[in-house]
Amino acid sequence: MGQITVFSGPERRRRWSEEERVRILTEAFSPGACVAEVARRYDVSSALIYTWRNKLRQSVAEPGFAEAVVVAGGGAEPPIISPAIIVELARGSRVNIFASAPPALAAAALKALR
């Protein structure tokens, strides 16, 4: 006869809110981060993190135009902030994406560059 092991206790399946998923994805794909380390920290599989990222990419609407507002300078120097992502294009052009950009906007911009 074979041996059967019965596990009892609370259900292992967890529910993650959208805010938690976005926070984990932001941390996992930030510059210098390791997806496997973030997965261990939150006790999720790295495959689940990649699945969440793919679902987020698919849910992003088609790229469109965003309203730009130009404010006349009052002489104040803008703070120096370095971009989180720099995409270098042909002929020396580049696109800078800052950490403060919403994930959906950054994903749409990168999708449009494909």
Can you tell me the distance from the alpha carbon of 80 to that of 83, in angstroms, rounded to the nearest whole number? 10
0.85 cut: is pTM over it? no
Q: Which amino acid is at 111?
A: K
Q: What is the mean pLDDT of the chain?
A: 82
Predicted confidence at residue 10, as pLDDT, reads 64
Q: Is 50 exposed, middle or buried (0-12, 13-18, 19+ CB in 10 A)?
A: middle
Segment among 19-23, 78-82, 84-88, 89-93 with least mean pLDDT: 78-82
